[in-house]
Every structure is written in structure tokens, then in C-alpha cells.
Amino acid sequence: MATCSNNATSPEEPKIQFRGLKNRGQMCYIHVILQSLNVCLIRGIVMLQSTEGSPDKPVINALAEFFTWSSGEPTVAKKEDLGTWEGVRVKRAKPKKVKGPQVPIGTPFEPCQFYEIMPIVNPYLSVYGEQEDAEEFLSSLLNKLHDEAKWGEFVATAPSPIQHLVFGELKNTITDRKGVVVSVTEERFVTLPLGVDDIRIQTIQDAFDVLASAVELEEYAEGAVRKTTFTRLPTLLMVHLKRFTFDSTRGLEKIHKRVKFGFKLTLQRSMIEPSPLVSPEYELISVIYHHGATGDSGHYSNDSKDPTTGKWIRFDDAVVKALDATQVTNYPAGKTPYVLFYSRV
């Protein structure tokens, strides 16, 4: 693995949260996950769980160190080398007066402490090599954080604060033509996979409605129907839009379909078992986008909401800038939302 270094010291008193991450080769899939987690409740859990120098929590400690580094002091903007993207050197231009929201931005750095523990998170994912799937990395990271944060560390089924925050559960119930239950299966999810290729799906809300709709299973038995419900909703709901399919002839293909989403998400009571008194509501806090034509190439960027000010920030490796909220949902062609982070209200 290549080495990386930073010409800075970790700040004693974090004052800001917005620093870009230098990309020295196909690492954007890591960067967007780190920046998204930096604005959600996982940050607080990790900081409380970290024990500097402890060999039992290498991933928690590396992530805690990243969160500390990402809160560095702001510096005067000047022209300097900020890293690379697909072999092209990225420069930061001299500061200009711009309209719209402003945020303090620090100097970019390389999250070396996190690169070093990537083989622990998922030994099959590449660092300084091939482009990888951001959602796969996110799921691997959260499962590893759960393992390290368990309250009963010697019990395989022990719970953890990560589990209570991000894990959800679905129940699939199959009934026969007379309405008699013939099968019930339950599954846990870290990120919630939602299909987008169904003609009925034009918005995120549509995708949830299709997930919860009754599906006829003629291959199972005549008149059989499957119904999917949530039996547990997480506080941090991460929606994975299934944009990549594999074709035996053409390989990995991307579904470019435009799916609309908003800053609020309300789930119908009928989707949840047992049905709650009120419909759960969620607020959008981060979006990861995939740029490009195929799943095994391209680029990732993300927009995240500052939990302190409510302003939206765009992270594109070393480049960080403030946004108007309308720029988050009105994304251009070629840039597709891939993972959306919602926090329960």
C-alpha cells in the first residue's frame, strides 16, 4: 500500500467540520462515506467509544481520529495543490466573493489513519487501486463498528449503540389464496435496498410504496401473495437505490433513471408492524451521488447538511463548498443519487 502524509498536527479543540480529502487514486468511494458519517449521530457514538491505543477497537479509533482531523482550523484560501481526480491535478483557485451561504473551510488532508485499517473493514476493497462500491464499503464499515462497540464483547449476538442507531428489520409474509399465512421470514438491514427500475417509481416515496405493496407469487402457489412490512425502523435510515444490475453479456450496467427526492420523508403507518399511532417522519441529512455510465468506473461525491447551522455543504474529494438547498435535489444529468441518509425527526 502506498504511504500518505499530512503537513499538519491534529487540533486540540475542534472548531469546524469541513475539510476536503485529497484523492491520490480511486478513493472517492471512501471519502463520501467518511464525510457523510461526519454529520450524523454515528460521530458522537464513535467519539464516546474510542479508546486511544486500544488494539480491540482499531476501526472505531481510526474513525474517531478522522473526525478529530476533519475539525481542523480554517486557513486563508490560496492557490495550492489539492490532490488528483482520475490523474488530473486539482487546484484551489484564489478566493472570490460569491453569493449564497458561506461556511468555514479548512485545508484538505489525507485520512491516512483510516486507509491503514481498510483491510480490517473489508479486505476485498481496494485502496489506491480500483474504484469500489460506496454502499458496500458503508455496510462493511457499519458492521465492523457494531462488532467493536458491542456491550457484551464476548457474546456474538450482543447489542451495540450502532445497532440501535442504524439497523432495521423487515418481515416478509406470504399468504395463500384464502389469506392463511403460510410463510414468515425476517431480515435485518443496514442500508435499505430499494429498486428503481419499476415503472411505478418516480420518487423515493414511490419506491417505499412499491416495497410495501402486495406481490402475487404465482410460482409459489396459485393466489399466493407476499407482503413486506417494517418491524423495526432505525433512527438513521440509509436508503440504497439499486442502480446497478449485472448482465451476463454486457457486464455491470447502471440504471440512469431520474428518481426525485425531497428533504422530508414520511412513511405510511400501514408499512409498519405493529402500526404506530403517527406516521414516522425523517429528515434528509446527506446524499451520496454516483457520476458516470457504469458501476465499475466513474466518481462519487456527496452533499451533507451541517447539523449546527442547517446549511448544505458539497464534498468532492479535496473541494468543499457551500450550497443553496435547491442544488441538492436539482441534480444534473449524469449525476445520480445512490445512497440517501435520513435522520428520524
Kindly report, residue by residue over 117-151, the tens digit of the pLDDT.
999 999 988 776 677 999 999 999 999 999 999 97
Q: Is the pLDDT confidence value at 281 over 90?
A: yes
pLDDT interval class at 7 (50, 70, 90) = very low
CA 103 – CA 80 distance, rounded (Å): 19
Please compute the mean of the pLDDT values over residues 79-100 and round it to a whole number.
Answer: 39
> Among 70-79, 286-295, 316-325, which is the least confidently predicted range?
70-79
Please compute the mean of the pLDDT values over residues 104-121 and round it to a whole number.
Answer: 89
Q: What is the pLDDT of residue 152?
A: 66
Q: What is the pLDDT of residue 101?
A: 53
Tell me if 100 sits within 8 A of 322, measured CB to CB.
yes
Considering only residues 3 and 140, tell me which one the structure prediction assigns the higher pLDDT.
Answer: 140
Percent of the chain at pLDDT exceeding 70: 83
Q: What is the pLDDT of residue 102?
A: 63
Q: What is the pLDDT of residue 53?
A: 73
pLDDT tens-digit map of 258-278: 999 999 999 999 999 999 999
pLDDT interval class at 70 (50, 70, 90) = confident
As given in the structure block, the three cell numbers for residue 232 are: 423495526
Q: What is the pLDDT of residue 83?
A: 37
Q: What is the pLDDT of residue 302?
A: 97
pLDDT interval class at 169 (50, 70, 90) = very high
Q: What is the pLDDT of residue 13?
A: 38
pLDDT interval class at 333 (50, 70, 90) = confident
> Among 4-13, 87-96, 103-112, which is the least confidently predicted range?
87-96
pLDDT interval class at 4 (50, 70, 90) = low
Q: What is the pLDDT of residue 93?
A: 37
pLDDT interval class at 205 (50, 70, 90) = very high
pTM over 0.85: yes
Please compute the mean of the pLDDT values over residues 33-61 and round it to a whole number.
Answer: 91
Considering only residues 182 and 81, tell me which one the structure prediction assigns the higher pLDDT.
Answer: 182
Mean per-residue pLDDT of the chain? 85
Q: Is the pLDDT confidence value at 290 over 50?
A: yes
Q: Is the pLDDT confidence value at 89 over 90?
A: no
Short-list 179, 175, 171, CA closest to 225: 175
pLDDT interval class at 246 (50, 70, 90) = confident
Q: What is the pLDDT of residue 308?
A: 87
> Among 50-59, 116-125, 284-293, 326-335, which is the least confidently predicted range?
50-59
Q: Is the pLDDT confidence value at 235 over 50?
A: yes
pLDDT interval class at 24 (50, 70, 90) = confident
Per-residue H/E/C for the chain: CCCCCCCCCCCCCCCCCCEEECCCCCCHHHHHHHHHHCCCCHHHHHHHHCCCCCCCCHHHHHHHHHHHHCCCCECCCCCEEEEEECCEEEEECCCCCCCCCCCCCEEEECCHHHHCCHHHHCCCCCCCCCCCCHHHHHHHHHHHHHHHCCCCCCCCCCCCHHHHHHCEEEEEEEECCCCCEEEEEEEEECCEEEECCCCCCCEHHHHHHHHHCCEECCCCCCCCEEEEEEEECCCEEEEEEECEEEECCCEEEECCCCCECCCEEECCHHHECCCCCCCCEEEEEEEEEEECCCCCCCEEEEEEECCCCCCEEEEECCEEEEECCHHHHCCCCCEEEEEEEEEEC
